[in-house]
Each structure stands twice: as structure tokens, then as C-alpha cells.
A and B are shown apart, each in its own frame.
Chain A
């Protein structure tokens, strides 16, 4: 962290910008008399938010829980898969091209397949979101594990360290910055994955609320739900970012 004066700038300035944008939005809506079902004013969104808070929170907790589950699964599986591929050149040669191939296809398009295969319960939504956020973790961690300082690996070899010891005491710590950056991407993708899956299958959750409010022209509810979604996404991302910073501090001691 730099000094205190920087904090007011890094935190205060973005908040001021957000407030200014809301004010501008309110002025445009009121001045032009834009109807509520097209674009509700922020003030009205806030009122709806407060009025239907229990309902929104219920939906948000469903989406949030599923997103967190998907995020944890994706980071765990991505990490383990990366460790396995690092130590098995054969498996790496078999799977790596497929993994890179998967990176290139728009995975969101596969969402309906997960419903066909796994049904309409939360298991299929979590699996889809895991699938979406797994690849960045795998690829980034794999890069980190393989890019561990060659001299450090040689040092371990000179000490007759086993593969496992080298993995645990040198490769994993060196890959940590790569892994941590990937978890931030995974946090965003996990929320995206849950919302997309909820668009297709759910009868609850914020994605369902947004989709079902559309045909009824309940634009206010859509905005309130989007706001809640932002809160869910930001909380998950924020938590991960804080952990990432702690991890980096541990790594360098800075």
C-alpha cells in the first residue's frame, strides 16, 4: 500500500464518478420523460430495490451459492489438473491440444447440452459454470508450474528432491501468482455461467428473475436484479482479489 492520500484518490474518485453518472442518468430520464418500462430512473430502481429486498435477497442467495460452489470447484479442479499435466508428459500431449481447442470455442453455446445431460436442477447449472471457469485456471496454473525458475528446479534436483517435493516446495509457490490471477477471471466467469444457466432452466435465482421479468415489461425489477447481480459478482471478485493480494504479499514479502 502507498500512503493515505492515495487511498482517497483510488477509492474516492471512482465512487464520485459513479454518483455523477447516476445523477446524469436521473436528469436525462426526468428531463426527457422517458417511460419507466423503457428506462427507469435510478431513484425508482433504488425504491424497488428496498421494497422487494427480501425477494431479491432470496434469489441472490440461490445464484450466489451456486456461483461460489462453481468457483471453488473450478479452481480446485483446474489446479489439480494443472499439477497432473505438469508431471505427466503423456497426459499433457494427449489433453493439451484439446484444452487449447476448448479455449477457442464459445463455451456459452454449450449450455443447453448440460441441461439435456444433467437435468434442470442446480447440479447442471453448477457443472456448466464450473466448466466455463475451469479452463483459465488450468491454463494459467499450468503455465506457472512449467515456468518455475529452472535454477530453483535444478537446486531441488541437486538436493535429490523427489518430484513431489519439487512440486510442493518450488513449483507450486512459483505458480501461485499465475494461479491467483486466474482465480479472478474464474470468479467473474462463475457468476456469468450461473446466470446463463438460469436463463435456460431455473425457476429461481437472479438470472431467472431477469428473464421472467422481461416479457412482463417489469423493467424496474430487471434493473433491481441486475444491481443485486453486481453485488454478488463484486463480493465474490472482491474476496478473491483480497486473497490474491494476501497471497502475493506472502510470495514476495513486499
Chain B
């Protein structure tokens, strides 16, 4: 798998070239995504932010090779996506743990499917379980866990086979606000240790700004990416940065962009200018 990775570290790891998605139901065609065009560098965490039903999950599923691409190309590690690939890990909105397996077996599920030697991954499984704070829960079944705990297990399952990139489809949207904050902290923590390239789809502005290095703002159907905003906060980050005025400023700027996309709100040039300036001053912080 490493053979496809470009040797130049600055080269794009993910390249989405003029991708469009049109559903043809036979009677009518629905243009879900008009144009998506962006790149993600290796090791970068990019959030795709947009309102519900804007096609951002479809975009992610196309990157995962789980959804066909109508026009355009998606290249990951220099190779076009034509179907699912083991170097790409996916996390879904639903934790989707198998109810008849305990925590450890759920984490090891990909190893079984990939027919890799289980003994080589047991230690890694335990390490991941410890990292997400679930040590002692290895023998528990999913129904014995809370929603947040289940998503923690799903994170471990996505990382167990060491994919080069992680695609996350609103993984925390079904959780309550407090658990969601906890999960964001947990994800930041995991990111610190296992820096991976990531594409994270969300409709939460706060979540996008907190987690990502860059936020791509998507409009409603037929959707396009209207803005690519660099988030300046240095890592390691914690939830506390969300209290800072700068954080709130970026959030309100993103909100105004989304409202624009909806065709209602009005652009606020002042906010825009301030954020632009902060980007220049602070750099990317990486």
C-alpha cells in the first residue's frame, strides 16, 4: 500500500477533482453534488461542514469507494478510487457494533474480515481500548454500553487495521451535547498519537472548528464547496479553545457562510476580513 504514497510529503494525499454526483431514478435526475474540488495533504484533518442533506455524506462515501462517482475523479495515495480499499477506514453515523460480539471482538472484527493473524493485533486492540478509556469493558456486549462508549469502540475498530486515512460520517451526531464534547476531546487525544489523514463530515460548526485543520463549507443541493477555511489553533488542542473569542469569531464567520449558501443570511464583510487576517497572522499552527 505504501508504494502508492507520493514521496513528496507536501503532495496531496487525497485529490478530489471536479467530482459531481447525479442520481438517476429513471423518471428524474437529482443533482446531489454539482462540483467538489479539493485536496487533503497527508496527516491533515479536514472537516466538511454543511447543512443536513447537502450531499456531504455522499461525498465522503464516494471517497470511501462505497458510492459511485458520476463525473470527476477521486485519487487517494495517488490511485483513483474505484471501490473500497483496505488503506481507507470508515466510521459511520451509527456505531454499528455487532450485538452478538463483545467489545474486544468488535474491535478485532476488521482483522477477521481481512484474514490477518489475530495474535498480531491483540496488543494493539488492548492499547486502543485503553486509549479511549474502555479498559475493563472488553467483555461487555454493545447493549451494556452507552452511546458514547459504542462510538469509542467504533473508533478503535476503525483504527485497528491501521488505515492511512480515516473517513468519518457525522460519527457523533446521534450523541447528546455533553457526550459529544467528550468524544471530541477523545478524538483530539487519539489524533495526537496516531496522526492520520482524516476527512470528517459534520453539521456542527463548533465540532468542525475544534477538530479540523481546515474546514470545507458545502452549500445545499446541488452542492458545491464555497469556502476552504484554515483553522489556526495549534495542537495539541483541548475543548478549552472553544471559549476563546477567536474561536467564536471563526464560528460566526462559518455560520454566515452557511446561511449565504441557504440564500437567506447576509454576508458580513467585517467578520470575513478579521478571520482572513487571523489566518495570515497565526499561520496554520501545524
Contact = CB atoms under 8 A, between A and B. Distances in A.
Interface string A137-180: 00000000000010110111111110001000110010000000
B262 interface: no
6 contacts: A152-B96, A155-B92, A158-B65, A160-B84, A161-B113, A253-B102
Interface in B128-173: 141-144, 161
A123 B100 CA distance: 39
Contacts of A149: 96
A156 B66 contact: no
Interface string A82-119: 00000000000000000000000000000000000000
A235 to B, nearest CB: 28
A15 B103 CA distance: 43
A170 B93 CA distance: 18
B251 interface: no
Nearest to B112: A169
A252 interface: yes
A177 B66 CA distance: 28
B100 A251 contact: yes
B259 interface: no
Contacts of A151: 92-94, 96
A52 B141 CA distance: 53
Nearest to B100: A251
Interface in B54-88: 64-66, 83-86, 88
Given A151-B96, A157-B84, 15 more contacts: A149-B96, A151-B92, A151-B93, A152-B96, A155-B90, A158-B65, A159-B86, A159-B110, A160-B84, A165-B113, A169-B109, A169-B112, A173-B98, A251-B99, A253-B142
Contact of A252 (B93, B99, B112): B99
B143 A159 contact: no
Interface string A115-138: 000000000000000000000000
A157 B61 CA distance: 11
Nearest to A247: B100
A173 B64 CA distance: 25
A165 B110 CA distance: 11
A253 B141 contact: yes
Contacts of B85: 160
A211 B70 CA distance: 69
A254 B143 contact: yes
Interface in B96-118: 96, 98-100, 102, 109-110, 112-114
**Which 9 A/B pairs are nearest by Cβ-Cβ distance?**
A253-B141, A158-B90, A159-B113, A151-B96, A161-B113, A158-B84, A251-B100, A151-B94, A160-B84
Given A149-B96, A253-B99, A157 B114 contact: no
Contacts of A159: 84, 86, 110, 113-114, 161
B100 A156 contact: no
Given A151-B92, A253-B144, A157 B66 contact: yes
Nearest to A173: B100
With a 10 A CB-CB cut-off, give which of A155, A169, A252 has the most chain B CB atoms.
A155
Interface of A: 149, 151-152, 154-161, 165, 169-170, 173, 250-254
A3 B99 CA distance: 25
Nearest to A166: B113
Contacts of B144: 253
A173 B106 CA distance: 14
A160 B115 CA distance: 11
A170 B98 contact: yes
With a 10 A CB-CB cut-off, give which of B90, B93, B96 has the most chain A CB atoms.
B96
Nearest to B139: A253
Contact of B96 (A155, A165, A250): A155
A152 B100 contact: no
A220 to B, nearest CB: 50
With a 10 A CB-CB cut-off, give which of A149, A154, A165, A170 has the most chain B CB atoms.
A154
Contacts of A173: 98, 100
A82 to B, nearest CB: 19
B99 A158 contact: no
A251 B88 CA distance: 29
A96 B142 CA distance: 35
Contacts of B113: 156, 159-161, 165, 169
A165 B113 CA distance: 7
A56 to B, nearest CB: 42
Interface string B204-232: 00000000000000000000000000000
Nearest to B96: A151
A165 B84 CA distance: 15
Contacts of B92: 151, 154-155
Given A158-B66, A161-B113, A169-B113, A252 B143 contact: yes
